[in-house]
Amino acid sequence: MMNKRLKAGLCLAGAGVALLSGCAERGDAYYRPIDPATYPAANGPGEKLAPGEVDAAARVAAIIYAHLERKYANVPVRRDAHPKPHGCVAATFTVGDTVPSALRHGLFANPGAYPAIIRYSNSNENPNRPDYEKDGRGMAVKVLGNSEQPLPGAPLVVAPGSAPTQDFIMINFPTFLVAEPKDYEKLVGYNDSPSKLTQWLLPVLVPLSIGVKGTINAVEATSSLIDNPLNTRYWSMVPYQLGSGAEAVAVKYSAMPCEPQPVIIPKTKDPNYLRAAMVETLKNGAACMRFMVQVRTSDMSVEDSRYEWSETEAPFQEVARINIPQQDFNTDAQNAACEASSYNPWHALPDHKPLGAVNRMRQAIYERIFDLRRETAGR
Ligand code: HEM
């Protein structure tokens, strides 16, 4: 490994972009190779393993780990992405009995009202960033079973210390920023680099690592202002399997308000106005969202989620209603449970297996970062 001082010197010398690859974070101290036998198989509809993908996943996990260890040196580590919650709310995820027959797989083949917990969040890695700054916004749904309405089967992964759940993770933008795992590794390495020069050169390095389309998506996905997380539309960005075996298809998810209201961005200096808006809405009544799936047509890519699947060619179809009853969710106990929770696309029934390189990489990364959060929770 290169001497740290020499490396810092080279960064500061700024002798051209090529040298900066040596200034990117590599997470060497935390690098833990992934055994390909434990890596998700790329055997779903439209899937194909990318060159260097397994190692890129291990490297990204190490880079994020190193970044978080530096950032939260003596305090509990928080989520790397979406660390700022607007709240975790109790909800009911009701699968209707009118789901079109082609979509009746897994949860969507088992009508009934499942208890759920939904975490709404901002995307930015700064947990103190005010809500009035442009950002991406997240909605993570955790569907639980109970004795009356058990989950139909065992999920692929269960979080340590948790009951089995089916999670659906979404953001208020339809497309992701990168297709190739190696490009994503470069992007994360630059982004999480401690080098000031690398940070200063990010506007050049980002397009160099993820190209024009990826850069446009990255900017747009993090540029929204919203009035209320309950009055916002969300997408899964990346695809999931629906069904198993020869019948399996690839789908994306989206959730939207049952009755969208005109969006009026408040003129406020309250940095947490989105939490306040949710508190106000749920103090006075219930909220409702439609949960929908979009089945891809054969020319839509599973591996490259930089491009939206056309809603004209592949319309979203409702499979469930999310009802969020009147409640006071903003309590110390509920906020602590929200922080301690883990949402992971691999908390999924086999009929809803995550698809594509981004999702395959997420398996090891989310598990490792959640372990780090649990290990440091007491410090
Ligand atoms: C390889 C690509 C990705 C990486 C490395 C990544 C990384 C992470 C990490 C480390 C966390 C925190 C996990 C934890 O501490 O429990 C997280 C959370 C999250 N990610 Fe990703 N992510 C990726 C792709 C995506 C995509 C495609 C979406 C689109 C929906 C997404 C949406 C979210 C959301 C909404 C959360 C917060 C979940 C919650 O409320 O707990 N991520 N991500």
| Contact between 347 and 166 (Cβ < 8 Å) | yes
> What average pLDDT does the chain have?
94
Residue of 306, 292, 294 lying closest to 356 (CA atoms): 306
Q: For 16-55, how does the pLDDT look when each residue is reduced to its tens digit (9 = 90+)?
A: 555 566 789 999 999 999 999 999 999 999 999 999 999 9
Q: Within a 10 A sphere around the Cβ of 236, how many other Cβ atoms?
A: 23
| Contact between 282 and 326 (Cβ < 8 Å) | yes
| Residue 16: per-residue pLDDT | 53
Q: Is 329 in the pocket of ligand 1 (CB under 6 A)?
A: no
Q: Is 366 in the pocket of ligand 1 (CB under 6 A)?
A: yes
> What separation in Å is there between the alpha carbon of 81 and the centre of ligand 1?
6
Domain positions in the chain are: 4-376
- Pair of tokens at residue 18: 């090529």
> What separation in Å is there between the alpha carbon of 84 and the centre of ligand 1?
13
Domain spanning 4-376: CATH superfamily: Catalase core domain (2.40.180.10)
* Residues written for the chain: 379
> What separation in Å is there between the alpha carbon of 219 and the centre of ligand 1?
17
- CA atoms 10, 11, 17, 22: torsion sign: positive
Q: Is 84 in the pocket of ligand 1 (CB under 6 A)?
A: no
What's the pTM value of the predicted model, to 2 decimals? 0.95
Nearest CA to ligand 1 atom 5: 362
| Contact between 114 and 147 (Cβ < 8 Å) | no
> What separation in Å is there between the alpha carbon of 6 and the centre of ligand 1?
34
Q: For 95-125, how does the pLDDT look when each residue is reduced to its tens digit (9 = 90+)?
A: 999 999 999 999 999 999 999 999 999 999 9
Inform me whether the pLDDT recorded for 84 exceeds 50.
yes
Decide which of 197 and 11 is more confident: 197
Nearest CA to ligand 1 atom 18: 81
Q: Is 138 in the pocket of ligand 1 (CB under 6 A)?
A: yes
| Residue 298: per-residue pLDDT | 86
Inform me whether the pLDDT recorded for 179 exceeds 50.
yes
> What separation in Å is there between the alpha carbon of 327 and the centre of ligand 1?
27
Q: Is 221 in the pocket of ligand 1 (CB under 6 A)?
A: no
Nearest CA to ligand 1 atom 17: 81
Residue 10: pLDDT band by 50, 70, 90 thresholds?
Answer: very low
> What separation in Å is there between the alpha carbon of 152 and the centre of ligand 1?
25
Q: For 325-368, how does the pLDDT look when each residue is reduced to its tens digit (9 = 90+)?
A: 999 999 999 999 999 999 999 999 999 999 999 999 999 999 99
Mutate-to-test residue for ligand 1 from 343, 355, 363, 371, highest number of ligand atoms within 8 A of CB = 343
| Contact between 119 and 338 (Cβ < 8 Å) | yes
> What separation in Å is there between the alpha carbon of 72 and the centre of ligand 1?
18
Place of tokens 């961005």: 265
Helix 202-221 × helix 181-191 angle, to 10°: 110
